[in-house]
Chains A and B, each alone.
Chain A
């Protein structure tokens, strides 16, 4: 009984420390005591983020072999490598919470862990490579800039590093779109079509409206999240509308209007039925993306087994020297 009371006490002070740190705005580090809910929330969010980087390689990878110039191919190859690198970096940041990459991948395959919904849409033409870089990376940046100040140290540091590369991606994507808009009629149509297909899913990347979002409470209290979904979405719209205008692309939203009073754009209604349908597994590519990841992972098992066996052999040899 006494012992129990004592551990309870210790537990209490540790939680108090945690809350004070959060209050002061100090970063929480892996060795710090943290509430279970905090750890779980981060595990979920960081592994989802890592999986998103990796699954996102699929739609863009779809165009590597068809990139229209050597320069375009180099930029795309480098971009996709960056994304894979972000995945690696985020997996190791998440591992500081006490979960292994293998476990995270198993959760992805079982459906317990998610990845960003945006990658359940197909990359149909070369213009989609421009639209993904410009809009999808552009939306991701807005979110990630805000996460640079998230309360968990390893996550916040990962975001600082990642954001630098993401803004490159966004500019390169925009450059593809700009070039196509300066090009032939076919190219212009291709660019506008990509814009039409990626605009709304990009807005959905910020998640449900603040009035609907189930995670808002805790994430805010713990300073994991610093800005609301709607705030971030608004930021993205405001910076992107102007960029579209400059190169002659039309935003596919007839209700989009400048709000002089609020100094921002009002946008039309987002199709949340589509959002929940795609999240629920019925997007155009959900099955394809997951099947591919599972298949490649399973097919690679013999390679990983060989690497492990070799390493063990060499370790044994070293011991017997």
Chain B
């Protein structure tokens, strides 16, 4: 989940000076800021649990492609505004239900991170929904663009509910997180918003997968190349 936040924040921060209105520029980069904070909290905790003395920055800036476990949907290039909004809608809806459950973790650190995250995610989700409605029920052009984005992203949504990795994590924390339940809630919520936005829900087809084995799209390597540039070029330096 730390990687999800890290990589999604990377993509959202690319909207700086690139959004259709100044207000939106600020909103998207503000979400990126939330997610960077979440990544920091999660990765430093992961490092602590691992017990090898690795810091949040070590994990963010010194890991290789194959050691990243973010969901594929997070790393896909931003595309147009509709594509970014559709993705944010899908991921924030998932995160909302997921962190809602994680709040009950017996692990107090995770529970605390989840409690903080849920507030942010609720806001991201509300913002994304506002735009899904505006674009879906706005002009013909915007309707077509957001529909296309929804269709193209659909095959990356199944991976969000794969259970192995998360199950193990949560079972350790004595929580039975019910991924199928989260998946059902997600589908219901998504269907409701899409239909209100006059959009068609894609038929369930083949779902892409691989991130829980560290198998990514070609895009992740480019993200890491850019993100890790200074740490790799000057390994002795601290900043």
Interface, chain A (partner B; CB < 8 A): 54, 57-58, 61, 64-74, 77-78, 80-81, 84-85, 87-88, 91, 126, 176, 179-180, 183-184, 186-187, 292, 296, 299-307, 309-310, 313
Contact = CB atoms under 8 A, between A and B. Distances in A.
A87 B22 contact: yes
Nearest to B145: A302
A87 B23 CA distance: 10
Interface of B: 9-10, 13-14, 16-26, 29-30, 32-33, 36-37, 39-40, 43, 56-57, 60-61, 81, 133-135, 137-139, 141-142, 145, 226-227, 229-231, 234, 236-239
Contacts of B239: 68-69, 72, 126, 176, 179-180, 183
A212 B37 CA distance: 49
B58 to A, nearest CB: 10
A84 B22 contact: yes
A302 B36 contact: no
A310 B16 contact: no
B118 to A, nearest CB: 20
Contact of B33 (A72, A74, A187, A309): A74
B10 A302 contact: no
Nearest to A300: B20
A186 B17 contact: no
B230 A303 contact: no
22 contacts: A57-B16, A57-B17, A61-B17, A65-B13, A66-B227, A66-B229, A70-B36, A70-B40, A70-B60, A71-B40, A80-B16, A81-B29, A126-B230, A186-B234, A186-B237, A296-B17, A303-B142, A304-B20, A305-B139, A305-B142, A307-B134, A310-B137
A174 B6 CA distance: 27
A72 B43 CA distance: 16
A187 B142 contact: no
Nearest to A297: B20
Contacts of B142: 302-303, 305-306, 309
Nearest to A78: B33
A306 B135 contact: yes
Contacts of B81: 300, 303
Contacts of B10: 65
Given A70-B56, A77-B13, 11 more contacts: A69-B61, A72-B239, A73-B13, A77-B29, A78-B33, A81-B33, A176-B239, A292-B17, A300-B20, A305-B139, A306-B141
A91 B26 CA distance: 15
B28 to A, nearest CB: 10
A18 B188 CA distance: 63
The 6 closest A-B pairs by CB, nearest first: A300-B20, A306-B138, A306-B142, A303-B20, A61-B16, A68-B230
A303 B61 CA distance: 35
B236 A184 contact: yes
A15 to B, nearest CB: 36
A257 B18 CA distance: 44
Contacts of B234: 184, 186-187
B134 A310 contact: yes
A64 B22 CA distance: 17
Contacts of A292: 17
Contacts of B60: 70
B128 to A, nearest CB: 14
Most chain B CB neighbours (cut-off 10 Å) among A81, A85, A91 = A81
Contacts of B137: 310, 313
A306 B139 contact: yes
Nearest to A87: B22
A75 to B, nearest CB: 10
A300 B21 contact: yes
Nearest to B227: A65
Nearest to A130: B239
Contacts of A299: 20
A179 B20 contact: no
Most chain A CB neighbours (cut-off 10 Å) among B17, B145, B230, B234 = B17
Nearest to A176: B239
Contacts of B13: 64-65, 73, 77
B103 to A, nearest CB: 23
Contacts of A66: 226-227, 229-230
A224 to B, nearest CB: 25
Contact of A81 (B30, B37, B43): B30
